A and B are shown apart, each in its own frame.
Chain A
Amino acid sequence: MELKTVQTRHVPVRYFEGGTGPDLVYLHGAGGVTAEDPFLAALAANHHVYAPLIPGYGDSEEAPTIRDMLDFTLHTWDVIEALGLKDPILVGHSMGGMIAAEMAAVAPNDVSRLALICPAGLWDDDHPIADIFSLLPFEMPQILFHDAVAGAAMMTAGRNVEDPNFLQTYLVNNARQLGMAGRILFPIPERGLVDRLYRVKAKTVIVWGDSDRLVPPFYAHGFKKGIAGSELVSIPEAGHMVIVEKTPAVVEAIGRLG
C-alpha cells in the first residue's frame, strides 16, 4: 500500500492506496490502520483500495474544526469527492462503520454497496459497550480479540515497550487518535444513528465476530433491523478485531456485494 495525501476543505488527508479492481473505500476503527495491515492487503487483492486516515491518525494533521458526527460524515464525503471516486464500495470497521453508516444515511443515493464490520453507533442500556477510553493497554487484548494471547502478541509486535520514549509516544498517539475518536465515541458511542438508519438504500452486509466483547453481537440485530434488506454474516471464533482474526471470511462477506 502506498501512503498519499489529498487536500480537503479542513486539512490535507493521508490515505493508503493499492490494489486493482472495483473502487473500495475503507474507513478504519478507533485503533487506526497501517500500511502493513493484513486486512488492507487482502482487500487489495481484488479491489482498488483507498483507506483514508481520520485527521490526527498516523502522521496526519489534526482537524480542530471537525467536532461532531455531521462534521465527520461530511468530511469523509469530502475525501471521497477529492479522491475523484463515484459510488465506491464503502467499508467501515467499528468507528469507521459508524461513519460509513452515517454517510450512507445522509446521502443514500450515493452509496449502493455498504459493508459494516462490527460498527459502533447504537446503544442499548442492557448491552453496554466497554469504555475504551479508560482501558489500560494490558486490558485491550481481552476486549478486542477472540484469542487474547494471540491478540496481545499482535498488538505489541515490533514495539519496544522498554524504550523510555515508548510511553510518551504512546501517550501522544493516544491523545491525537483517541482524542479525535472521542468526539464521536465519548463517553457513549452513540450520536443518533438509530433514527437515521432507515434512510440507507445501499445493498448492505453486516459482519460480526461471535465473540466480540467490545461491541457485542447483540448490536448486529439493531443494524439488520434498521437497514432494509441487509444481510448479517456472523463469524465464529472472532472478536472485535475480526478483520485480522478471520480476514478471509470478512473479505468473502464483502465480496457478496458484487
Chain B
Amino acid sequence: MKFTWFNLMPWPYLPDDFREKNRSVWVDIDQRLFDPAKSHEVYNTYMDLLEYADTLGFDGVGVNEHHQNGYGIMPSPNIIAAGLARRTKNAAIVVLGNSIALYNPPVRVAEEFAMLDCISGGRLVAGFPVGTSMDTNYCYGQIPSLTREKYQEAHDLIIKAWTTRDPFAWNGRYNKLRHVNIWPRPIQQPHPPVLIPGGGSVETYDFCIDNTYSYSYLSFSGYLRAKALMQGYWDRVEERGAPDKSPYRAGFAQTILVAETDEEAERLYSEHVSYFYNRCLHVYPGFADAPGYRTIKTIQSGALSQYAPPKGGGYTELTWKDLVEQGHIIAGSPETVRQRMEDLIKGLNVGNIFCLMHVGNMPADKCMYSTRLFAEKVMPKLRNMFPDFADDDRFWAKPLENRVTSGSLPGEFPTSASLAKTYA
C-alpha cells in the first residue's frame, strides 16, 4: 500500500455566512476574503504539516493545483513541492498534478518536474490532470471542447521531452517549438511515474491502461459512491487485456479522521468537516462543467461532475452521521477507521490512497493528532493488503539510494587553513 498525506490547503477563514453571501467558492470568489498577511502563517503551517507526515512514515506527501479557489491556495503546486523536496527525507513528492493544457509551452512542466525530481533525489510522482472546468475553462480561458486535444498534445510533448536525448522539433497544433531539449532532465528513468486523475470517462481508462499510468479517482464523496466508477475501470482493464489487475493501477482520495474513540472524532472534527462540505464545496453550478468540457460519451455514461452536490439539498442537509455512514468521510477510532479503510481498499481494489487528513479549517494540533493516530495505529495494519503485488513498483517513485537534503553544507566554517588543506 502507498499512503500519501494530502492537503488541499483550504483557506480557513471563510465567514459563517459564506454560503448566504457568496455564490461560489471558486472562480469569482470575493478576493477580499483572502488576507495575505494571515496567509503567511497558513502556508507555513500547511507546509509544516506535510513535512510532519514525512516524519511519520507516510509513503508520499501530496499537493495539487487549483485556481481562484477558496479551498485550495495552491495555484502552483510546484512551489510547495520544491519546499517539500528540500525539507522532507523519504516521502515521495506526489504532485497531483500540473494541469498540462495550461502551461505554455508544456515543456515548462517537463522542466519543473525534472527539477523537482533532481532536487528530491528521484522522489517525484507526476500527476497530469486535465484540470477541472472551473480551473481550466473559467479561470484559465481554455476553450472547453478543445481542452482535451490540447491536453493530449501537451502530454505527448512532455513524455517525448523527458525521453529523447537529442534536440527535436515539435510541430504541434498548439505548440510549435523548433528546439526541444530539456535541461535538466529527471533522475527517474525512463521518466517519473505518472498518475492520471479521472472522473469516469472511458477515454481516460484506456489512456492509463495503454501507458501504464495509475488511474486516480479524486472525489470528495467517498468510497461507497466510487464503487461503480472504479468497477468500470477494472472491467475495462480486463476488457483491454492488461497483463494484471495490480491495485497500484488505481488510486483513490478519501477524507480520513482518527481519534481515540468514534465519539471523540465527532467532537473534535465535525465543525471542520462541516466547514469543508458547506463552505469549501459551495461551487456555483454554472461553473461545474463548461459545455464541451466533457465528452458526449462521458455525459451519456451518467458520470456527472464530482462537484455536483448530492441530490436533495446538497451537503447542507448532511449530518456528521450521514457523512460517516455514506462514506463521504472515514472517521472514528483507529479500529473503526481500519475496518472502513479495509472495505475501501478491498472494495475498490486500490493500492494508492490519497489521505485527505487536513479538512477545512482544521487547526494544526487536531490535524497532527489525527495524522499520528492514523500513522501509528491504522497504517501498519493495512500495509500488506496485497501481498501478490508487493513488488509492483511500476507506479511509484524510485529514488536514489543515497540522497541529500537541506543542511548539506560543511559543518565547520571553511577557513583559509582548512581550504588550503582540502585543496592542497
Contact = CB atoms under 8 A, between A and B. Distances in A.
Among A67, A172, A174, A186, residue most surrounded by chain B Cβ atoms (within 10 Å): A186
Given A134-B138, A175-B294, A183 B285 contact: no
B142 to A, nearest CB: 8
A107 B291 CA distance: 31
A177 interface: yes
A176 B299 CA distance: 11
Interface in B252-303: 284-287, 289-296, 299-300, 302
A172 B299 contact: yes
Contact of B300 (A134, A172, A180): A172
B137 interface: yes
- Overall SS of chain A's interface: helix
Contacts of B143: 182-183, 186-187
A179 interface: yes
Interface in B299-329: 299-300, 302, 304
Interface in A171-228: 171-172, 174-180, 182-183, 186-188
B146 interface: yes
Contacts, number: 65
Interface string B146-185: 1001000000000000000000000000000000000000
Contacts of B287: 134
A166 interface: no
B294 A134 contact: no
A179 B141 contact: no
Contacts of B302: 168
A177 B300 CA distance: 15
B137 A180 contact: no
Given A135-B286, A168-B300, A183 B138 contact: no
B105 interface: no
A67 B148 CA distance: 13
Contacts of B145: 175, 179-180, 182-183
A175 B296 contact: yes
A136 interface: yes
Interface residues of B, number: 25
A179 B292 contact: yes
Nearest to B138: A134
A106 B294 CA distance: 33
B75 interface: no
A134 B293 CA distance: 12
B299 A133 contact: no
A171 B301 CA distance: 12
Contact of B290 (A133, A139, A172, A183): A133
B55 to A, nearest CB: 44
Contacts of A134: 27, 138, 284, 286-287, 290
A171 B284 CA distance: 17
A177 B145 CA distance: 10
B144 interface: yes
Contacts of A133: 137, 144, 290-291
B135 to A, nearest CB: 13
Contacts of B137: 133, 186-187
A72 to B, nearest CB: 13
Interface in B105-162: 137-138, 141, 143-146, 149
A134 B28 CA distance: 12
7 contacts: A133-B137, A136-B285, A168-B299, A172-B296, A175-B294, A179-B144, A180-B292
Given A175-B292, A175-B296, A178-B291, 14 more contacts: A133-B291, A134-B27, A134-B138, A134-B284, A134-B290, A136-B286, A168-B302, A171-B299, A171-B304, A175-B145, A175-B294, A176-B296, A180-B145, A186-B290
